[in-house]
Chains A and B, each alone.
Chain A
C-alpha cells in the first residue's frame, strides 16, 4: 500500500525539473541565510576584538601616513616599514598630557626573497614598557620574550619550537597568538634587540637605509591616566609636534569608523537576505500553484477514489516538506564550504576586522537556517495547497 510519504516521493520524481528548481531555490535560500548570519556575527566579533585589543588611547604615527593607511596596516597587514622622526618619543614624554603608559613599536616589512621565510609584518615591541601586546602574550608565554625568539600570528603556518628565517637570521617560534581577526594574525612579534638586529640586516641585504633618521620607532602607543581626555591629548600633540612630522590618532576614532562601516555592511547583508527570502517565497509559491493547477485531474481522481481533503492536503504538504528539507540540508552543506573561502577574502574586500564565529555558533546557525528555509518553503506553498484542498471533486474533474 502506498503511504502518504511514498505518494509524495513519487510526485517529486514524476516532475524532476520542477522539483530540481524548487530544491535549488530552497538550497540557495538556506545557504544565504547561513552564510549571512555567520558573516554578520563574525564581523561584529571582529569589531569587539579590535576595540578590546586597541588598548591605547592615542596612537602616534608619522604625519606622512594618512588615517586610512594606518587603518589598512592594522586591518589588512600589508607589510610596511615606516619611522617617526628622531627623538619623537622623548618629545611626546615632555608634554603634559597625563600619560600613564607609553610604549614604542617598530614596524619592519620582511622581503619576498630567500633571506625570509615569509613576506610579513615584523613588529618590534619594547617588552618592558609594552602594555598592549604583552597582555595577549601573557596567556601563551610563561616567561619574557627573549632575543632571537618570536611570537607568530595565528595565520602564520608554523608551530612553537620551529625556526623561521628573517633577513638571514634563524629565529625560534616561542608562541602563537590566538585569532584576532586583524592584521596581527599575519604578523610576527619580536623584542627590541631582535628588531634592531633585523633592521640592520635588512639595510645590509637591500644596501639601502630604512629611513633618513636614526629612529627605529614606527608607532608610539599612549595610555592616559584616568580623567584625561584622549581626543584633547591627540589634538595637543598635533598642535605642538605636527610640524615635526608627527601625528596623533585618537584610537576610538578607529573603532567608531569601523562601527559605522559595520552597521552599513550588516544592513546590506540583512537587506539582501530579505530580498532573497521574498524571491524564494514567490518562486516556491508560484511553482507550487502551477503544479497544483496542472494536477487537478489527478487530485480529482484521488478524491473520487476516497481520499479525504485532509489526506490530499497532507500529501502535498509532505511533498513540500521533502523538497524543503533536501534544499535546506544541501544549502547548509554549500554554506559550510563557502564560509572558509570568504573568511580570508572579507578583510581584504571590506577592510573590516573579521573574527570567524565559534563552531558552536555555526552549528546553531546551520540548524536555525535550515529550519528557517524549511518553514519558508512550507509557508510559500501553504496557500496553493490549502486552496487545492478546498475545491470540490466535480469542479476538479469538470475543469479538465
Chain B
C-alpha cells in the first residue's frame, strides 16, 4: 500500500514537473514571440535588463531581511520595492513600445533606471509618512554591500542601452 502511495507521489510530482516545464516553455515562447515583434535590439536589451533589475532586490541579491526593533521594515525594504517597481516599469515600457518604436520608451527607461540610484542615495528624495527610499547607514548591510552595487551596474547598462536606442530612434524617427 505504501509502495503504491509512494509510486503515486512520484507520478504526481512528475506530472507537476511536466506542467511546470510546459508553463516555463510557454512563457519563453510568449516572450520570444513578443521579442520577435520588437523592432529594435535595444528594446530587447531593456526588456531583459528590466527583468534582471526587478528581480535583484528580493530574488538575486536580497536587501536586509531583518525588521527594526519596533517591528517595522527598514528603509532598504522600501528601496527594494522601489527598485523592483522601476524594473517592472522598464519591462512594461519595452512591451508597450514593442510595435511602435519611439524614443519616449528610452527616455522613460533612462529616468527609471537613473532613479534606482539617485533615490536610494538621497539625491532625489522620495519619502512618505512612515517610509523612505534610502539605504542602511551600516556599510556591511546586504543592501549597501550587495544589492546596491548590482542595481547600479544593471541601471547603468539600461542607461547605456537606452541612450543607444534613443540615438537610433532619432535617426529613424517615430516609424
Contact = CB atoms under 8 A, between A and B. Distances in A.
* A in complex with B: yes
A344 B124 CA distance: 13
Nearest to A326: B170
Given A119-B137, A157-B134, A334-B163, A20 B117 contact: no
Contacts of A340: 118, 123
Contacts of A13: 171-173
Nearest to A114: B69
Interface in A300-347: 326, 330, 333-334, 337, 340-341, 343-344
Contact of A344 (B121, B134, B164, B171): B121
A9 B69 CA distance: 62
A157 B122 contact: yes
A23 B137 contact: no
B35 interface: no
24 contacts: A12-B171, A13-B171, A13-B172, A13-B173, A20-B168, A23-B171, A27-B163, A27-B167, A112-B137, A114-B69, A117-B137, A118-B137, A119-B137, A155-B122, A157-B122, A157-B134, A326-B171, A330-B163, A330-B167, A337-B159, A340-B118, A341-B117, A341-B118, A343-B123
Given A112-B137, A117-B137, A155-B122, A23 B114 contact: no
A119 B140 CA distance: 13
Interface string B77-103: 000000000000000000000000000
Interface string A88-123: 000000000000000000000000101001110000
A19 interface: yes
DSSP majority for the B interface?
A: helix
A24 interface: yes
Nearest to A339: B123
A16 interface: yes
Contacts of B114: 337
Closest 5 CB pairs of A and B: A340-B123, A326-B170, A118-B137, A19-B171, A23-B167
Interface string B53-73: 000000000000000010000
Nearest to B138: A112
B49 interface: no
B151 interface: no
B122 A20 contact: no
A326 B171 CA distance: 9
Contact of A20 (B118, B121, B171, B173): B171
Contacts of B166: 330
Q: Is the interface of A mostly helix, strand, loop or mixed?
A: helix
Residues of A in contact with B, size category? 20 to 34
Interface of B: 69, 110, 114, 117-118, 121-123, 132, 134, 137-139, 159, 163-164, 166-168, 170-173
Contact of B171 (A16, A117, A157, A337): A16
A311 B159 CA distance: 39
Nearest to B127: A157
A282 B57 CA distance: 45
Nearest to B140: A112
Contacts of B168: 16, 20
Contacts of A118: 137
A379 to B, nearest CB: 21
- For B110, B137, B139, B164, which residue has the most chain A Cβ atoms within 10 angstroms? B137
**Which of B122, B123, B167 has the largest count of A CB atoms less than 10 A from its CB?**
B167
Nearest to B117: A341
Given A24-B167, A27-B167, A114-B69, A16 B118 contact: no
Interface string A1-26: 00000000100110010011001100
A173 to B, nearest CB: 15
Q: Which of A24, A119, A157 has the most CB of B within 10 A?
A: A157
B167 A20 contact: yes
B138 to A, nearest CB: 5
A155 B132 CA distance: 15
A13 B172 CA distance: 6
Nearest to B137: A118
Contacts of A334: 163
Nearest to A21: B167
A326 B121 contact: no
A21 to B, nearest CB: 10
A167 to B, nearest CB: 15
A23 B169 CA distance: 12
Interface in A210-265: none
Nearest to A112: B138
Contacts of A341: 117-118
Contacts of A19: 171
Interface in A124-163: 155, 157
A340 to B, nearest CB: 5
A155 B173 CA distance: 43
A114 B70 CA distance: 12
A229 B137 CA distance: 44
Nearest to A157: B122
B137 A9 contact: no
